Amino acid sequence: MPRRRLARLLRVRSPALPGARIVVGLGNPGAPYARHRHNVGARVVERLAERLRLPLEDKAKLAWSGQGQTPYGPVVLAKPRTYMNESGRAVQALLTRHRADPSALILVYDEVDLPNGRVRIRPGGGDGGQKGMRSIAQAVGSLDFPRVRIGIGRPLVHGQPSWDPGAVSDYVLADPGPDQAAALAQAEAKAAEAIIAILRDGVETAMNRFNAAVDG
């Protein structure tokens, strides 16, 4: 039997975890994308995996995931293995696998309409033009779940913020400069804390704490 096929057969997938909150960090898969602005959500989930000791060892077709009991209840952490604009496929598969509805989700992702490094929690709402969220809305039929957004700012063209699709695409699919990277690293740590607060205290309490902190 070929070694790869044997490895697939021997791989043990984690069982379904009904009742879990499912935290999904959006991004693009693969090393070339790992440090891009568009991958801050995936990096937050990696931080949470270390903190909650839920390594992302389960490599299903559509997502890397880790799961288990935590001080905040049962939790599933996941990074889609799809590209950003197909995130809905991975999220729907996670919901089906864990017998959950969209209200179990907590999404974390980048937001060009927030200043670089700002963290903001929302209890629900629209997709805000974010392609991953748009894909999720189409796949699961709802965006009625909390999300933690991490600001990456808009690209500047001739010194002015740009809404040009090409400029925005080039910007999000690029590594930030040193100063922006340092601010994003701090924001990723803060976003991980915000998700912990949602799991522990609920979204309203977490919003009062974290949104007030950035506005004050």
Question: Which residues are tagged catalytic?
Answer: 38
C-alpha distances (whole Å) from 117 to each of 11, 29, 77, 189, 214 are 38, 22, 22, 10, 10
Q: What share of the chain is helix, strand, coil (3-state, %, to 5)?
A: 45, 20, 35
Write b or e for each residue in 86-106: b if 16 or more Cβ atoms lie within 10 A of its Cβ, otherwise e: bbbbbbbbbbebbebebebbb
For 112, the token pair is: 């060009």
Look up residue 74 and give its two tokens.
């049962």
Distance from C-alpha of 207 to C-alpha of 126, rounded to nearest angstrom: 17
The stretches of 1-67 forming alpha helices (DSSP H) are 3-10, 40-52
Give whole-number Cα distances, 172 to 51, 84, 100, 110, 132, in Å.
Answer: 27, 11, 31, 9, 13
User: What are the start-end ranges of the H helices in 173-215?
Assistant: 178-201, 203-215
Q: How many angstroms separate the CA atoms of 30 and 1, rounded?
A: 28
